[in-house]
Amino acid sequence: MAKKRKHVDRDEDTSQVPARIVPPSEPLPEGVHHYETIEEVPWDVQKYWHQGYSIFSKYDDGIWMTDDAWYGVTHESVANTISQHVSEAAPPNRSIIIDAFCGVGGNTIAFALSGKWKRVYGIEKDAATLACAKHNAEIYGVSDKITWFHGDCFEILGAMDGRTEKTVDALKAIAGQFGIIFASPPWGGPSYSNTEVFDLESMEPYTFSHLYKAFGKVTSNMVLYLPRTSDLRQIAQVVDGDKKIQVIHYCTNGSSRALCTYLGDWALLKLSPASSNGY
């Protein structure tokens, strides 16, 4: 018999069968999956699949994932905490937020759920991953709050050395005047976890300095989601004069998942006592 993951929530009646938005018989886009039993899951994804409810509490409602997305998606509790911090400390007159590497929508959905932003923009290069993000936003009831773009975030935002035909001039303009960029870029695999201090200039395919300089062409106000062992000296080097950068570790179950560096004109973050599911 196929073994399904057990979801125990003390605040819910676990005897009820979750309502599924997507019937199992509906064909999914190529590269997109909604695994229901361990036998369906590739061996290298299985440990992440067991954390499914931590990643998306509404997983049983029909959450879509690509196999690669399991490695990089932000856990829901962490995404919600980041969203809270960004909302509370955002620089003045910032009313839109751009998730430059939106993936399957973990952070984008949290930003939309916050009710803080006039508009949330999600950018994703991979078509299957973007299909997941759009679908998952519908499950969380926030699809009407998000505008999606398919393509390279640097091209779409006009963050290259020169404008390209894919640059969305209107988005670049409002981002410069009213926007914040949140970026959870690829880190280049798990090698960061094997080093005591991770060299941010070895991050692939985008180094820290590339991210900072490129997004800085659009707005000075950004949040970069980086490996937990990141070299803080490299982050500090981008600061001019006496300005300070706020760096927060975000944790689940007492262990750091990653850190966010807040660059720009952020208010001082007001942190409550650390918890196992926050920071």
What's the CA angle centered on 200, arms 240 and 179, to 5 degrees?
55
CA-based max dimension of the chain: 64
Q: Is the peptide bond before 190 cis (omega within 30 degrees of 0)?
A: no
Strand bridging mode 96-99 / 255-263: unpaired
| pLDDT (tens digit per residue) in 96-134 | 999 999 999 999 999 999 999 999 999 999 999 999 999
| pLDDT (tens digit per residue) in 67-80 | 999 999 999 999 99
Q: CA 80 to CA 74: how far, in whole Å? A: 10
Q: What is the DSSP letter of 101?
A: T
Token digits for 131? 């299909």
Helix axes 106-114, 127-139, angle to 10 degrees: 40
The whole-number pLDDT of residue 179 equals 97
Token digits for 110? 């949290």
Strand bridging mode 146-150 / 119-124: parallel
The whole-number pLDDT of residue 189 equals 66
| pLDDT (tens digit per residue) in 191-201 | 656 678 999 99
**How would residue 2 be classed by pLDDT, with cut points 50, 70 and 90?**
very low
| pLDDT (tens digit per residue) in 204-247 | 999 999 999 999 999 999 999 999 999 999 999 988 777 789 99
In contact, 128 and 32? CB cutoff 8 Å = yes
Q: CA 41 to CA 4: how far, in whole Å? A: 11
Span between the terminal Cα atoms of the chain, in Å: 39
The whole-number pLDDT of residue 273 equals 59
The whole-number pLDDT of residue 162 equals 74
Residues 6+ positions from 144 with CB-CB distance below 8 Å: none
Burial string for 8-30 (b: 16+ CB within 10 Å, else e) reads eeeeeeeeeeeeeeeeeeeebee
The whole-number pLDDT of residue 188 equals 80
Averaged over 158-183, what is the pLDDT?
A: 92
Residue type for 42, please? P
**How would residue 4 be classed by pLDDT, with cut points 50, 70 and 90?**
low
- Is the domain 75-263 a CATH 1.20.1740.10 member? no
Indicate the pTM of the whole model.
Answer: 0.89
Q: What is the DSSP letter of 33?
A: B
**How would residue 17 be classed by pLDDT, with cut points 50, 70 and 90?**
very low
Lowest mean per-residue pLDDT among 62-71, 88-97, 163-172, 209-218:
163-172
Domain range annotation of the chain? 32-71, 75-263
Q: Quick one: the chain helix, strand, coil %, rounded to 5? A: 35, 15, 50
**How would residue 1 be classed by pLDDT, with cut points 50, 70 and 90?**
very low
